[in-house]
């Protein structure tokens, strides 16, 4: 269950990293914006509290 996510800059949308991130902070080398990433404990893409089943 290796699921990779794309970590992009919240400011300029530059691709910073790829993979799994748990409580990480990446500084964008392009615009200098520090992007804080929260832990993703669950394997599902339920970032928001939305009960939408497929």
Q: Which residues are at the interface with Zn ion (CB under 5 A)?
A: 9, 11-12, 14, 28, 30-31, 33
Rounded to whole angstroms, what are the CA distances from 39 to 23, 24, 25, 31, 36? 5, 8, 11, 24, 10
CB 27 → Zn ion: shortest distance, Å? 9
CB 37 → Zn ion: shortest distance, Å? 14
Nearer to Zn ion, 3 or 31 (CB): 31
CB 26 → Zn ion: shortest distance, Å? 10
**CA-based max dimension of the chain:** 38
């Amino acid at each position: 269950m290796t699921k990779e996510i794309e970590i992009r800059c919240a400011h300029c949308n530059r691709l910073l990293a790829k993979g799994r991130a748990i409580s990480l902070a990446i500084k964008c080398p392009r615009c200098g914006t520090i992007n804080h990433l929260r832990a993703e404990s669950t394997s599902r893409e339920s970032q928001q509290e939305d009960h939408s089943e497929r």
